[in-house]
Amino acid sequence: MASRVIVYAAGLLTTILIARYLGPAGKGQISLVVFTIILVLNVAALGIPSALTYYIGHKLRNLGRLFAASILLFVILVSVFSALYVIVVPRLQATLFPGLPLWVLLLALAAFPLSLASRFSQYVFLGFRQIFRFNLIMVLDRLCYLFLMLVILVFVQRSVAGVIFAGVLGNLIACLVAIWLVLKLIRPVWRIAWADVRKLLGYGLQAHLLMLANLVSYRVGLYIVSYYHDAAAVGQFSLALSVAEALLFIPTSFGLVLFSRTASSSTEEANRFTPLASRNVGMVTLVAGVVLGLVAPVLVPMIFGKAFSPAVLPFLILLPGIVASSYYRVIGYDIVARGYPLRVSAAAGAGLLANVGVSLWLVPSLGANGAALGNLVGYILAAVVVLAIFMNLSRCKLTDLVVIRREDFKHYRDLFAKLRGVRGDDE
C-alpha cells in the first residue's frame, strides 16, 4: 500500500501539471490517448500475466519453458496488435480524437510493447511473491514519467505531444529495469512446447475477460462523453475519475497480495483470511472516501484550477461506487486465484453492461455527471454479484465480508506495536 501511495502521489502531481499547463481540453485529449493505449495493452495481454502468476504460484515444473512460451506469445501479440492499431486508429481520428494529429497517436503506440513487457515481468514477480520488485517497477514508471513530463512542460514545450513523449520514456526506463530483474529470477528454456502455450492461453483467456471488462467499465464513459460533447467535458470527467479512483489503491494493494497468497494457500485458510481482508479494506476505503468527499469541493478547484470546478459533482457521484468496488476488488482477486476467473468476469460484464446502458441514456443530457452515474451503477452491480459468488463458494455470510468486528481492531494494535518496535530498533 505504501507503494500505491507513492504512485498515487506521483499521479496526482502529474494530473495537476497537466491540468494547470494544458487545461480541461488538453487533459481530455491526453486521457483519451492514454486510455486507448491502456485498452490495447489489456486486450493484447490475453490474461497471460495472470496465468504466469497462477502457475508460478502453484510451483509447476518446467517454469523456464513456460516463461519461454510467454515470450513467444509476447512477440506475436505485439506484432498483431500494433498492426491493428495502425490500421484502425486513423479511421477513428476525426470521431474520437478531434484536434490530435495522427503522428501523436502513433507516437503513443511506442508505449504499448514497453508497458506489456513490464506487465509480464511484474506478474512473474507476483508469482514468486516478490512484492517489492512488483511495486518497484510500478513506482519507477510513475516517477520517471512525472520527472520527464515536468522537464518537458516547464523547459521545452507545453503540449499534449510532450506529455505523451514523457510517458513513453518513462515506460522505457521501467521496462529495462523489469527485464533485468525478471531474468535474475527465471531464465527462459528455449524448447517451446505448444502444451505450455495452450496452458497459458487456457487460464489467461478466462482472466482476460475479467481484466478487459474491468478496464472498459471504468473508462468507457470517456469515449461516450467524447462522442456527445467536447474534449473539455472529457477532461472534467477524467479528472473526477482520477481523483475518485485514487481510493482504489487501498483495495488494489491488498487484492494483489491476496491473489498471490490465495494461489498458494489452502481453501480453508483463504476462507478465513479473505473475509477479514474484505471487511477491513472496505471500512478503510469508506472512511477515506468520506474524508475526501468533505474536502473535495474546496481542494479540487484550489489544486487543479477553477476551470475544473465542474468536476466536483461527478467526483462526489463516483464515491459510493468506489467504496462498493473495494469489496469487488478484494474478493474478486480471491476468486480468480481459486481458479474461477470466468465467474468474476461475469460480474464485471454485468457491471459493464449496466454502465454503458446508463451512460448512453444520461450522457447526452448530463455530460460528465451522466457518465459518473453510469460508473456508479456499474461499480455497485459488479460488487453485488462478486459478493454473491464468494458467499456461494465459501459459505461465508454477508456480514462476514462487509461488517467490521470488534476483534478486528486487535490487528491494528498489533500492527502499530510492530511499527513502534521497528522504530525502536532503528533508533
Q: Where are the domains of the chain?
A: 2-419
Q: Is the pLDDT assigned to residue 342 strictly greater than 90?
A: no
Q: Tens digits of per-residue pLDDT, 54-72?
A: 777 666 567 777 788 888 8
Q: Tens digits of per-residue pLDDT, 93-104?
A: 777 777 778 888
Distance CA 418, CA 56 (A): 31
Q: Is the pLDDT assigned to residue 424 strictly greater than 60?
A: no
Task: Between 102 and 414, name the one with better pLDDT.
Answer: 102
Amino acid letter for position 41: L
DSSP string, 317-335: HHHHHHHHHHHHHHHHHHH
Residues 6 or more apart whose CB falls under 8 angstroms from that of 340 comprise 389, 393
Q: Copy the grid coordinates of residue 289.
A: 472516501
Distance CA 141, CA 310 (A): 30
For residue 278, the model assigns a pLDDT of 80
Query: Mean per-residue pLDDT for 225-244?
Result: 84
Q: Copy the grid coordinates of residue 367.
A: 455530460
Half-sphere exposure of 289 (CA within 13 A, CB side): 25
Residue 416 DSSP label: H
Q: 3-class secondary structure for 235-301?
A: HHHHHHHHHHHHHHHHHHHHHHHHHHHHHCCCHHHHHHHHHHHHHHHHHHHHHHHHHHHHHHHHHHH
Please check whether residue 233 is in contact with residue 225, taking contact to mean a CB–CB distance below 8 angstroms: yes
Pinpoint the alpha helices (H) of 46-98.
48-57, 63-96
For residue 172, the model assigns a pLDDT of 93
Q: For residue 265, what pLDDT band results from cuts at 50, 70 and 90?
A: low
Distance CA 63, CA 189 (A): 8
Q: Is the pLDDT assigned to residue 419 strictly greater than 60?
A: no
Residues 6 or more apart whose CB falls under 8 angstroms from that of 342 comprise 206, 209, 210
Please check whether residue 386 is in contact with residue 331, taking contact to mean a CB–CB distance below 8 angstroms: yes
Coil, strand, or helix at residue 390?
helix
Q: In 239-278, which positions are buried (b, 16+ CB within 10 angstroms) versus exposed (e)?
A: bbbbbbbbbbbbbbbbbbbbbbbbbebeeeebbeebbebb
Q: CA-CA distances (angstroms) from residue 119 to 56, 83, 281, 394, 408?
A: 15, 20, 25, 31, 34
Q: Among positive and negative, which fits the CA dihedral 287, 288, 293, 299? A: positive
Please check whether residue 200 is in contact with residue 51, taking contact to mean a CB–CB distance below 8 angstroms: yes
Distance CA 170, CA 164 (A): 10
For residue 416, the model assigns a pLDDT of 63
Q: Copy the grid coordinates of residue 35.
A: 486510455
Distance CA 221, CA 229 (A): 11
Distance CA 8, CA 291 (A): 17
Task: Between 171 and 188, name the one with better pLDDT.
Answer: 171
- The distance in angstroms from the start CA to the end CA of the chain is 24
Q: What percentage of the chain has pLDDT greater than the value 70? A: 87
Q: Copy the grid coordinates of residue 28.
A: 481530455
Amino acid letter for position 215: L
pTM above 0.75, yes or no: no
- Residue for grid cell 494483489: 256
Please check whether residue 108 is in contact with residue 168, taking contact to mean a CB–CB distance below 8 angstroms: yes
Q: For residue 273, what pLDDT band results from cuts at 50, 70 and 90?
A: confident
Query: Mean per-residue pLDDT for 26-49?
Result: 82
Residues 6 or more apart whose CB falls under 8 angstroms from that of 231 comprise 24, 25, 26, 28, 29, 32, 98, 99
Distance CA 102, CA 88 (A): 12
Query: Mean per-residue pLDDT for 1-7?
Result: 73
Task: Between 70 and 411, name the one with better pLDDT.
Answer: 70
- Residue for grid cell 457491471: 351
Query: Mean per-residue pLDDT for 109-132?
Result: 85
Residue 94 phi/psi, 5° resolution? Answer: -70, -30
Query: Mean per-residue pLDDT for 397-415?
Result: 74
Q: What is the pLDDT of the chain when averaged over all its residues?
A: 81
